[in-house]
Each structure stands twice: as structure tokens, then as C-alpha cells.
Amino acid sequence: MSVDALDDPKNEIVELVTVEMRTIQTALNEIKGQVEQMQNLVDREQQRNSDLATELRTVQENIDTIPRQDIRSKYDEALDARFRLSTMRGQLEKLQTRQELLQDHQTLLNQVLNMVQGVDVLPSAGKSAERAAPASSFANIIRIVQAQEEERQRLARQMHDGPAQSLTNFILQAEICQRLFDRNPDKAAEELDNLKSSASVTFQKVRDFIFDLRPMMLDDLGVVPTVRRYVESFRDKNDIETSLEITGEERRLEAAREVLVFRGIQELMVQARDYASPNKVRIQLDMGGNRVKALVEDDGRGFNAEAAMREGDHHQNDSRVQSMMTLKEKFELVGGSISINSSETEGTVVRLELPTDDTVF
């Protein structure tokens, strides 16, 4: 058997990844020009807003001598300029986010390429096993990469549909208040109260968004307080009875391990809420010994776990199964493990384990 024959799967993988990287590079070249063009527009509009702010200060200083219509026109012009600037900034942020996602995707593919090219051909294990090993490893890596990209897309959609949309509404409400001050002060005051309420709600949403994206307390206090805080927040926001039990010494772990444990618990709780419709969710976290252990149990709609894990490719449309498979692969890559027990009538129990030593990192 020739080495060239054994290298065929690796060569095919390298070719696929290389083609994808060329496509991404082309898209990056295009979006770079768009970002630069939009940045120039934003800079010009920002200068225009600065000039209008100076003019408005002049108007305020001479408000008794300037005709009311001229004052109104100048304020309308300033509000219009602010709205255009806000819109342009939003478009610039979307382009920059897209650019960052492409760059991250390119980096990940480059890492995959390096890993695949570094895989040695294993001797005397049979042709099918030798050819399947690199392809299987690559499939696992690609699934993890896809999961990361899907998570980034979800966060981008949340940002666009949540805070970004709310900020646009703030601008419109502020404009309404501005127009009502002279004609109907009472109505203007009412609109200001509405604006204040909307700002409070949006502020809380932004805080929740930041916590889901990357809880700062995870770095400051560790995984145990962060899990406590997340469970409390989950209980408050969802009509689900949620309990948490923590055993063992409440200690700090290496940052990467704390992130993996927290994200694992978070992902399983979210999947249970979104796909199982449970009445109860129970979480256990054991920090004792040389392996951190976590359990997430729900009494909602389950699935045939044994068949799903054995025939994962046949469940590509089942988001919950795919998420668990991806989580399983992440834990196994660093020496951890996941066991899943589930049935359609008895709910789901997922157990996570992760070593606390440095042998696998």
C-alpha cells in the first residue's frame, strides 16, 4: 500500500479547506473596502454633527433674537443629522462584525488546516480505518467550528434585534419629545417618562446580553458564583422550577476549565428550556476531587439518547442533539466526558466531568 493512497483523504480535506479559505479571503477583501468607505462617511457625518452642535450653541446664546422658525429648522436639521449618523454607525458596526466573523472563521480554518496536515498516517490498522481517522477528526473539528459560528450569528441577531433596535427607537422618541416641547409640554413630559422606562428596560437587556456573552464575574469570582448567578437569573426569567446544589470545595480552576464548565451547564439549561418544555430543571455541581462533575436534569420532553449518539448524522435537524454532540466533543478533546440518559417520557439527565489537573491542557 502506498503512502500516497493513504494521504488521499488528507489531501481532499486540505483542498476543501484551502478553497474555503480563498473564498473567505475574497469576501474579506470586499468587506474591507466597504468598511473603509463607510468609515469615511461616518467621519464626515460626525464632523457635520460637530459643526451643527456649534451652530446650536450659537442659537442658544442668541435665542431671543433668532426667529422661532429658524430655531426649529436648525434643531430639525440637527436631529436629522444625528439620526443619519446613528444609522451609519449601525451599518459600520454590522460590516465590522461581519469582517470579524470572517477573520475568526479564517483563523479557525487555518488551525484546522495545520492540524490536518500534521496528522501522521497510522500503520497496519487496515485501509478503511487509516482512511477514516483523519476524515472523522476533521468532521468533529468542522462541527465545533460550525457551532461557534452559529453562536456568533445568534449573538449578532440578538444585538441587532435588541439593543440596536432599542437605540433606534430612543432616537425617534427623543425627536418626538423635541417637537412636543413647544406645542404640548405635558405630552412631552409623558413621552420623556416613556423614554426613561424604555431606557431602563434596554439597560437591563444589555446587562443580560453581556452576561450571556461573557460574564465578568467568571473571571473575577470563578465558576461557582457565576453558576449561582446564572441559575438565579434563569429562574427569574422563566416559568421553570430551577434548583442548584453545590458540593465540594468552592475553589478556583484554570480559566479555560471554568469557562468550559460554565458554558456546558449554561448550554444544557438553555437547550432544556427551548426544546424540552420542562416544569423542573435540577443542577448539581461537585467541585471536589480531581474531576469537576456537573449534572443537569429536566423533566421535559426527552429523546432516544442511545440512538441519537450512535446515529448522530441522522439527527442533523435536531438542534438539541447536535448541541449535545458538539459539547461532548469539546469535553472529550480536553480529557473530559459526557453521559446522556434520556427518554421521551422520563426527561433528560446529562452528566459532565472535567479533570482539574493540567495533563490534558
User: In the block, which residue shows the cell 453545590?
Assistant: 246
CA 279 vs. chain centroid, Å, equals 26
CA 77 vs. chain centroid, Å, equals 38
pLDDT winner (highest mean) among 141-150, 275-284, 310-319:
275-284
Residue 306 has pLDDT above 80, yes or no: no
Report pLDDT for 309.
67
Residue 121 DSSP SS3: coil
73/309 Cα distance (integer angstroms)? 66
Would residue 360 count as lying in a domain?
A: no
As a whole number, mean pLDDT of residues 321-331 equals: 83
Report pLDDT for 49.
84
Give the CA angle between residues 337, 277, 268 to the nearest 5°: 20
Q: Are residues 276 and 326 in the same domain?
A: yes
Q: Are residues 203 and 247 in the same domain?
A: no
18/246 Cα distance (integer angstroms)? 47
Residue 124 has pLDDT above 60, yes or no: no
CA dihedral over 306, 311, 315, 321, signed as positive or negative: positive
Domain end position, chosen among 213, 228, 249: 213
**How many structural domains does the chain have?**
2
| 64-100 tens-digit pLDDT | 788 878 777 877 787 777 777 877 787 788 888 888 8
Residue 133 has pLDDT above 50, yes or no: no
Residue 225 has pLDDT above 90, yes or no: yes
For the chain, report the end-to-end CA distance as a whole number of angstroms: 36
Report pLDDT for 172.
73
| 269-286 tens-digit pLDDT | 999 998 898 999 999 999
Q: Are residues 156 and 123 in the same domain?
A: yes
Share of the chain above pLDDT 70, in %: 78
Q: Are residues 205 and 221 in the same domain?
A: no
As a whole number, mean pLDDT of residues 103-114 equals: 78
Question: Which residue type, as a one-letter code, is found at position 154?
Answer: R
Segment holding 142, helix H or strand E: helix 127-159
What is the DSSP-derived secondary structure letter of residue 315?
G
CA dihedral over 14, 20, 22, 24, signed as positive or negative: negative
Q: Are residues 135 and 10 in the same domain?
A: yes
Report pLDDT for 95.
80
Q: Which three cell numbers stand for residue 278?
A: 420542562
Q: Which three cell numbers stand for residue 171?
A: 432616537
CATH of the domain at 315: 3.30.565.10
Domain end position, chosen among 213, 244, 262: 213
Residue 341 has pLDDT above 70, yes or no: yes
Domain end position, chosen among 213, 244, 259: 213
As a whole number, mean pLDDT of residues 137-161 equals: 60
Would residue 118 count as lying in a domain?
A: yes
Q: Are residues 158 and 220 in the same domain?
A: no
Residue 269 DSSP SS3: helix
Q: Are residues 66 and 49 in the same domain?
A: yes
Report pLDDT for 313.
46
Residue 292 has pLDDT above 60, yes or no: yes
259/226 Cα distance (integer angstroms)? 10
Reference 44, options 93, 81, 99, 80; nearest CA is: 81
Q: Are residues 239 and 195 in the same domain?
A: no
Residue 302 DSSP SS3: coil
| 190-215 tens-digit pLDDT | 878 888 887 777 777 777 777 666 67
CA dihedral over 88, 91, 95, 96, signed as positive or negative: positive
110/116 Cα distance (integer angstroms)? 10
Give the confidence band of 149 by pLDDT, cuts at 50, 70, 90: low
Q: Are residues 192 and 288 in the same domain?
A: no
CB atoms within 10 A of CB 202: 17
Averaged confidence pLDDT in the chain: 78
Q: For residue 41, what are the domain limits? A: 3-213
Share of the chain above pLDDT 90, in %: 18
Report pLDDT for 116.
67
Q: Are residues 80 and 205 in the same domain?
A: yes
Q: Is the pTM of this model over 0.85?
A: no
Would residue 361 count as lying in a domain?
A: no
Q: How far is CA 41 from CA 27, 34, 35, in A?
A: 21, 11, 10
Point out the least confidently predicted range of 84-88, 139-143, 302-306: 139-143
